[in-house]
C-alpha cells in the first residue's frame, strides 16, 4: 500500500469512523465495516492463535470489536453516550 493511500485511509477513519471507505492493499475500495469484519478480525484471530493467546480471551476482546462494528457504534460514540446518560 502506498503512503498516500495509508494517509488517506487514516484521515477517512478520523473523519467518518465506521462510515469510512478505505483503499485496500489489493487496490479495491472497502467500507470500514466490511474490511473489519471480513478481513481484519479474521487476521487478528489467526495472529492471536499463532501467538498462543487463550482462545476465550481472543474471542472476548475481538468480540467487543465485532459487536461494535455490527451495531455501527465506535468506542468514542459509546463513551459519549455513556457520559450523557450519567449526567
pLDDT at 70: 94
Contacts of 72 (CB under 8 A, 6+ apart): 18, 33
Q: How high is the mean pLDDT in each 10-residue block of the chain (87 residues)?
A: 94 94 94 95 97 97 94 83 82
Beta pairing partners, 31 = 21
Query: Would the pTM of this model clear 0.75, i.e. be above it?
Result: yes
Find the helix or strand (DSSP H, E) in which 83 lies.
Answer: helix 75-86
Residue 36 buriedness (CB in 10 A; 0-12 / 13-18 / 19+): buried
Amino acid at each position: 500500500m502506498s503512503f498516500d493511500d495509508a494517509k488517506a485511509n487514516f484521515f477517512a477513519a478520523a473523519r467518518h469512523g465506521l462510515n469510512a471507505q478505505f483503499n485496500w492493499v489489493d487496490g479495491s475500495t472497502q467500507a470500514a465495516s466490511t474490511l473489519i469484519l471480513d478481513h481484519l478480525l479474521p487476521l487478528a484471530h489467526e495472529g492471536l492463535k499463532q501467538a498462543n493467546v487463550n482462545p476465550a480471551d481472543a474471542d472476548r476482546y475481538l468480540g467487543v470489536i465485532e459487536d461494535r462494528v455490527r451495531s455501527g457504534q465506535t468506542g468514542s460514540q459509546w463513551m459519549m453516550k455513556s457520559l450523557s446518560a450519567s449526567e
